[in-house]
């Protein structure tokens, strides 16, 4: 998979790319992340990438020409083009799975007061946001999207890592996890996890997952297919 990132601050991605899962994915040739410095496509001797908005108002708007030139400068196809913007669709796990099936994606990191609307009209396939808040720029959202997508690519995670139990994979939050020691500061690992009874362990984990979702993200339950047993567990929990 090839991921292009069009950004004004390529140096922000160095630690992200050089560490942990992303680095291993690159080493395994599972993904190729290519940073495109938007400033090098800026206008004139000063490499200008923004301008004041027509109609007045504060702040600056990213110009269409540098972004278009950056897209044209990409070797091969830009593939599926994404713009990170607060007005975009909220990025979810389903989007990560969908994007992980693309051969090539290009993420344009938004900045300033926004991006000239013609960028979206002419070149962008979808706009994505990572939450209902505003960041200084689109680099952090781009990293979040890349991380969520890359870890799904087959062979990236270790063989002992099971992504199907992750929060949001099943539409529910993940159940509590424990490891050694069995007791710490008066808090003991639930006995069912030490029982060796895998059927009861799975039942307990499902129950804890349902309860955590009901307590912390009840909105998720409305979009999840629940079994009769799930509904009974939720009723018993109040």
> Within 10 A of 216 (CB to CB), how many other CB atoms are there?
10
DSSP 3-state assignment of 157? Answer: coil
| CA dist., res. 116 & res. 85, Å (int) | 12
Catalytic position from the list 24, 65, 86, 147: 86
| Active site annotation includes 151 | yes
Cα separations in angstroms, 151 against 21, 109, 129, 191 = 7, 21, 19, 32
Q: Is 235 helix (H, G, I), strand (E, B) or coil?
A: helix
Rounded to an integer, what is the distance from CA 121 to the centroid of its chain? 23
Q: Which of 79, 2, 84, 1 is nearest to 38 (CA)?
A: 84
DSSP labels, 123-137? T-SEEEESSSS--SB
Exactly one of 37, 113, 125, 174 is catalytic; name it: 113
Whole-angstrom distance, CA of residue 180 vs CA of residue 126: 45
* 3 state DSSP class of 118: helix
Residue 7, Cβ neighbours under 10 Å: how many? 25
Angle between helices 139-150 and 93-100 in degrees, nearest 10 = 70
Active-site entry in 95, 166, 174, 230 = 166
Length of the chain: 238
Active site residue 53: no
Active site residues: 86, 113, 151, 166
């Amino acid at each position: 998979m090839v991921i292009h990132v069009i950004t004004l601050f390529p140096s922000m991605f160095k630690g992200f790319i050089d560490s942990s899962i992303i680095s291993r994915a690159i080493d395994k040739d599972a993904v190729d992340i290519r940073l495109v410095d938007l400033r090098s496509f800026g206008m004139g001797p000063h490499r200008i990438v923004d301008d004041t908005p027509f109609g007045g108002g504060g702040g600056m708007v990213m110009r269409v020409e540098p972004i278009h030139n950056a897209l044209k400068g990409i070797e091969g196809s830009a593939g599926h083009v994404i713009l990170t913007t607060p007005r975009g669709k909220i990025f979810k796990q389903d989007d990560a799975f969908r994007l992980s099936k693309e051969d090539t994606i290009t993420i344009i990191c938004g900045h300033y007061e926004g991006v000239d609307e013609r960028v979206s009209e002419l070149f962008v396939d979808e706009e994505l946001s990572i939450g209902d808040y505003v960041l200084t720029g689109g680099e952090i959202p781009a990293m979040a999207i890349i991380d969520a997508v890359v870890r799904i690519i087959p062979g990236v995670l270790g063989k002992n890592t099971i992504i199907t139990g992750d929060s949001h994979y099943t539409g529910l939050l993940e159940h509590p996890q424990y490891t050694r020691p069995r007791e710490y500061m008066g808090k003991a690992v639930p006995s069912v996890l030490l029982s060796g009874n895998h059927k009861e362990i799975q039942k307990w984990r499902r129950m804890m997952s349902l309860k955590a979702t009901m307590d912390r993200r009840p909105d998720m339950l409305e979009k999840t297919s629940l079994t009769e047993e799930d509904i009974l567990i939720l009723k018993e929990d109040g």
